Amino acid sequence: MGVGKFFGIGTGPGDSDLLTIKGQKVLQEIDCLYTPEPKKGTKSLALSIVSPYVREDLVVKQRHFPMVKDWSVKEQAWDAIANEILEEVKAGKKVGFITLGDPMVYSTYSYLLNRLKDQIETETIPGISSFCQMSNSLQIPLVMDDESYAVVPSTASDELISQALTDFSTIVIMKAAPHLEKIMALLTKENLLDQAVLISNASMENEVVTKGLSELDPSQKISYYSTIIVYKTQESFKERV
């Protein structure tokens, strides 16, 4: 048995072919793959994304990451999973962990990595972020020339979101679902509803795209995987060239 190593792999947003070639090669090379299971008993979305590129005989270990407000409950789960991985890598195994989108953008993977990176060899393979795939699919630039963009979660303060909507050319609001009413109120105040696009389940079979949010009911229930992109300069860009 060779030298063990831990690999984090970003799966991209949903389309299996948005995995990188490097991610594909690592999936072929590892002895064992850990996957996150957001709700107990449900199939890992990250696993279904990479499944066309997973060897049939690969050992897959689905582990539950509790999505609760109590940090000590989460930390206990991360400690336990990190210890399991640590033992396997120390025994000489190549162990992978897959995470939706990019591993360095709002991923619980960072907490696992933080527990492991000083003790064993680790490598992290980037992935396409959902909002990046969305801009490519819509074929609207995130930024051009001297423009800037900001990425904020819907849980950020009203002040920060308003400031971002004022200062930046493009504003990405991640995890939009739990605070849709607040976000729509802020967009209304800044007169930006028409320049906003809501995308749910990006690049998946059940993708829904809503361009311009004036008609959207703020109390509507939307998918957990929902992002809003506000393209303030889209019209001027169209005319510019």
The one-character DSSP state at 12 is B
The reply to whether 234 sits near a copy of itself by the rule CB under 8 A is no
The reply to whether 217 sits near a copy of itself by the rule CB under 8 A is no
Segment interacting with a copy of itself (CB under 8 A) among 156-164, 178-186, 187-195, 210-218: 156-164
The reply to whether 152 sits near a copy of itself by the rule CB under 8 A is yes
Q: What is the DSSP string of 31-55?
A: SEEEEEESSTTSPPHHHHHHGGGS-
* Cα dihedral 83, 88, 94, 99 sign: negative
**CA 62 – CA 44 distance, rounded (Å):** 7
Cβ–Cβ under 8 Å, residues 233 and 147: yes
The CA-atom distances, in angstroms, between 218 and each of 158, 196, 213, 234 are 16, 14, 9, 24
Nearer of residues 129 and 200 to a copy of itself, judged by Cβ = 129
The reply to whether 54 sits near a copy of itself by the rule CB under 8 A is no
The reply to whether 236 sits near a copy of itself by the rule CB under 8 A is no
- CB-based contacts of 166: which residues, under 8 Å, 6+ apart? 190
Segment interacting with a copy of itself (CB under 8 A) among 30-38, 87-95, 106-114, 183-191: 106-114
Segment interacting with a copy of itself (CB under 8 A) among 27-35, 83-91, 99-107, 204-212: 99-107
Site of interaction with a copy of itself (CB under 8 A): 10, 12, 15-22, 24-25, 53, 75, 78, 102-107, 110-111, 113-115, 117, 122, 124-129, 132-133, 135-137, 139-153, 155-156, 160, 163-164, 167-168, 237-238, 241
